[in-house]
Amino acid sequence: MALDLRNKVICVDTGGVPALTLHKVYDGMLWDNYIRIIDDYNESRAYKSKRFQLLTEFRADKLKELI
């Protein structure tokens, strides 16, 4: 079942995929274990969600590292 939830996500693992940029922010649509984004080649594609983290979570993790 697809969830139409658009979120800001950040790439945390390119896995050697040339169409993704590490630490780049994308608008993502979440589906189960996948995230659909417009990648660096301007293509709408679904990637495994493990390659991304919600931007809000990423920022919170970075702030915790500073404390």
Token representation of residue 33: 């274990």
Listed residue (55, 46, 45) closest to 8, CA to CA: 55
pLDDT digits (tens, 9 = 90+) for 2-54: 444 679 999 999 999 999 999 999 999 988 899 999 999 999 999 999 999 99
pLDDT of residue 5: 65
Per-residue pLDDT at 6: 79
55 and 9 Cβ atoms separated by less than 8 Å: yes
Q: Please state the pTM of the whole predicted model.
A: 0.84
Question: What does the domain layout of the chain look like in residue ranges?
Answer: 14-66
Q: What is the DSSP letter of 65?
A: H
